[in-house]
A = this chain, B = another copy of it.
Amino acid sequence: MNRICELFGIKYPIIMGGMSWAGTPKLAAAVSEAGGLGIIGAGPMRKNDLQKAIDEIRNLTDKPFGVNIILVSPYADELVETVLENNVPIVTFGAGNPTKYIKSLKNNGIKVVPVVASDSLARMVERSGADAIVAEGMESGGHIGEVTTFVLVNAVSRKVKIPVIAAGGIVDGRGMAAAFALGAEGVQMGTRFIASKEADIHENFKQLIIKSGIRDTVVTGASLGHSARVIKTKFAKKVKNLEVSSPEEAENILVGSLRKAVLDGNLDEGSFMAGQTTGLINEIKSVKEIIKDILNEFNDVIKNLRERHL
């Protein structure tokens, strides 16, 4: 029915974003159990952490799941090794070009899904053998590029033949229908899934997402070469200012700041990475409800569009 569902062996083409600290086996298992694809965020992990996380998710679900590896991690090699050893069904790759890992993963039957922020990288990873692509717009939370979902998904899905998963700005059935209209065959959501009952992020983080409007995020780190969208807290504004006046100090206070947000809810020293979608999220729901509501609205939107046919 849908190439993404077929490729991953899942019921609904709804993928969890790769999220450091927040992408726990528990949350990923909940997404997979609800019919989507849960993703363990291996961003800050080393081999042993990932091994534990894989063991944990396999205790929680027998459905397909994935692991997200960030290519800027100094431990990317050992994380890919762990994925291979454990025969994880799917790997998504963020922050770089994963070409060098694709062959060995594919030879072992592991599906490779790079996250891209440009149409040129999309074409490159397709040529290298990627099975699908996440096209992630700059409205996303965390590390981002410059092109918006609206433009990127349209451009990427016109330029590659493999299926495209849209990310950035999506929380509901409207977003999913729009992504499909632009050429995507799946959607990836991060912020929506951490605003869930099953997410183990600190309560302060969940409350910030609920309270924030669509204009309450800001991009930090742009001038440092690693743009990340975060909720506009005092800390975020401080980082923005320091980027100009004292880039080194900005780098210093950013170290460990995501962990402080996710685990400690530390409003003074934490980077609360989240997308512009914070302004579209008003409620903490269970993962099951999130997915059910999206699918219901998606079907309604498509029905209504039919009636607006010109």
Contact = CB atoms under 8 A, between A and B. Distances in A.
B182 A174 contact: yes
Contact of A151 (B154, B214, B299): B214
A170 B148 contact: no
A169 B181 contact: no
Indicate how many identical chains form the complex: 2
B181 A154 contact: no
Contact of A213 (B119, B280, B302): B119
Interface string A155-193: 100100000000011101011011111110100000000
A277 B148 CA distance: 10
B151 A301 contact: no
Given A139-B148, A148-B169, A279-B155, A119 B214 contact: yes
A304 to B, nearest CB: 8
A305 interface: yes
Nearest to A172: B154
A248 interface: no
Contact of A148 (B137, B172, B181): B137
A188 to B, nearest CB: 13
Nearest to A13: B310
Contacts of A169: 148, 150-151, 154
B310 A148 contact: no
